[in-house]
Chain A
Amino acid sequence: MGRGVAITGMGIISAIGNDVAANYKSLIERKSGISRIKKIETIHKDLLVGEVDLTNKELEDLLELPSDNNYTRTALLGVIAAKQAVSNAGITAINDKKTGLISASSVGGMDITEKYYYQYLEDADTQKYIEAHPIGDSTQKIAAYLGLEQAMTTGISTACSSGANAIMLGARLIKSGKLDRVIVGGSDCLSKFTINGFNTLMILSDDHNTPFDANRKGLNLGEAAAFLVLESDELVEAEQKEVLGYVKGYGNANDAFHQTASSENGDGATLAMKKAFDVAGISTDEIDYINAHGTATENNDLSEGRAIIRVFGEENVPEFSSTKPYTGHTLAAAGAIEAVYSVLALQNNVIFPSMNYKTPMEEFSCRPQLDLKEKEINNVLSNSLGFGGNCTSIIFSKV
């Protein structure tokens, strides 16, 4: 089944840190990034979210952007993370090899659109942002900032599985030889649009989110961006690259259940995991840690938990945890930031604890990992399950 696709760089910015090292520190020190909304003008100030610490102005300054730039927050976060990833991979001449960019987003430039929507017709100063609305804009901006020329760049928007799907598409492009190198990941900023939307769906918790807890009340939204650099074996060998881990398997499936909800039995998630194992060519007992989607909604945790049991067997479920209590649910970025966390688990042989858990669910006996646990980790399974049953699982491996 082959070795999978090498990961040679990664970058991240989230509520628990502005780079990979800071994120890792928060994870092992159990530091949550969830707090009351500070940066968005909204009547829902009492809601808990995972906000990135920096303001747009601070991000613009970090990137040394001209004052007439039209970067949305999604683009700003995306560029920060992608830049880190490229630098981490030691890439100096990005156009020397066939390089692509696949960037996931669900909210795109909505944060700015909702801010200036009623001004656009009259206020010429705000009009530069109109074209920054679609998700393709942040993708283009990341590509331009990285200096990519005539490269394959594309956006993916499949709700909460977008980031994982970007990684999966990138891995397939490398395997098929279409690209030598691809930067994959996702970026989503917070906006009133997502806050109000999820609030209307009544799946936002009024307290810290509690994945896999019987009394879970819903999710906390978050904002983040993360990117990984994937490179072909030939390139890794030619340039003697350090490999951080491999994308060993991946699978995407639909749930055939409902436009928004996941099926109670996790049909789509089960299929996605099975496909990922088929591609990876490993067995379920080789998984040392599951980084669950674990959004702490009633629907997700039941559906995902049942799917995990269907794939592994109730007695054989390995340690699992959800990192949503640290970062919030970062939507299209979730699959990408959790890919970074999965690689960190491989590199450091550590399982990040699931926080805020108190009461076991009645539906099954599996419990998330509650303490930081050190153990040899060779394979990590990461789930990203999207609205509408767009389910993706990725297996990350040391070798």
Chain B
Amino acid sequence: MATHKGFSVRRVGAATIDGMLRLGYATRFLARTLLSSGTSFRRPRLVVRELYFTGVLSLIIIIVSGLFVGMVLGFQGYHTLQTYGSESALGVLVALSLVRELGPVISALLFASRAGSAMTAEIGLMKATEQLSAMEMMAVDPIARVVAPRFWAGFISMPLLAAMFSAMGVFGGYLVGVVLIGVDEGSFWSQMQSAVDFREDILNGVIKSVVFGLAVTWISLFEGYDAPPTAEGVSGATTRTVVTSSLAILALDFLLTAFMFRGV
């Protein structure tokens, strides 16, 4: 029994050290990516190309999900608010939920599973098929040529996608609340506008989505770059990207929310 216990404690210790090693390696990877970003700025075409894959190809899922989330918020919000006779606050509820939380969080989760996993798989496959080694043998740094442009594309597209998600969500809430149920249009917008503050709510939402975007792209690129060069390795890395990103998004959201909206 004693040996068994010692064994498991040792395993926990090993796992902790392993995790620290990985985190350290990932941080060095991020630093290298940032330091090798010169190419991305000198040749913006490289970033534009990746913006197409991370941003444009995520548009449909973001817009459709935003619309539906907003419509559900419209129904549920109305249902709850009418019990207190304050349906006119529906706009406030929909807008604040989206701008502060749901917009940045859900779009980041969708981004992780759509664009993040694709990035991991792509880079993992490039590694497995020796394309990264080939590039290095041609005296081209794969971090500068392959990783950094994707990083900046993720950095740019995440806040834009989150803004689109929130805007579509507000529109969805409007469709259900005003057009379908018949909440007064004037009070829907005016209450929303007086309650939603630009700096407090919208800007903080944008900051959140920027942080999530950085986290998701970092995780996705690192998992791809670090993936064992086999089919199982790449598929495992893709799964890890989605799981780790989702956890990171939710944990960061908690920290940021506690920091931003504390006591207000």
Answer yes or no: are A and B bound together in one complex: no
